[in-house]
Amino acid sequence: MSKETVLNRATPTMSAGTSRVSPTGEKAGPAEQTSKGAWAHDRIARRAYELYDKRGRQEGRGLEDWLNAERQLVSASGQS
């Protein structure tokens, strides 16, 4: 018997370093410290989700969203 892992892609995951916010908008706990790599990954993930949301949540273009988000963030950090 095998176990299957089911991911709910409609709900973004929360990673370490993300402050938890209650429904009333209050912080529910302190953010955990993360490495620079994890922080960059989280920023890319958030931007990729924004791109996905902006184009109407069309499925099947996750890699394109990720690469565009990565490109935008690298470009923005180079202009600073």
Q: Is residue 43 part of a domain?
A: yes
Q: Is residue 61 part of a domain?
A: yes
How much is the pLDDT for 32? 58
CA distance 57 to 51: 9
Strand segments, DSSP code E, in 1-80 are 20-21, 27-29
Q: Which helix (H) or strand (E) holds 27?
A: strand 27-29
pLDDT at 2 over 70: no
pLDDT at 64 over 80: yes
Q: Is residue 2 part of a domain?
A: no
Q: Is residue 54 part of a domain?
A: yes
pLDDT, tens only, 5-56 = 444 444 444 444 444 454 555 555 555 566 888 989 999 999 999 999 999 9
How much is the pLDDT for 14? 45
Q: Is residue 56 part of a domain?
A: yes
Tokens 């993360």 map to which residue? Answer: 34
What is the pTM (predicted TM-score) of this model? 0.55
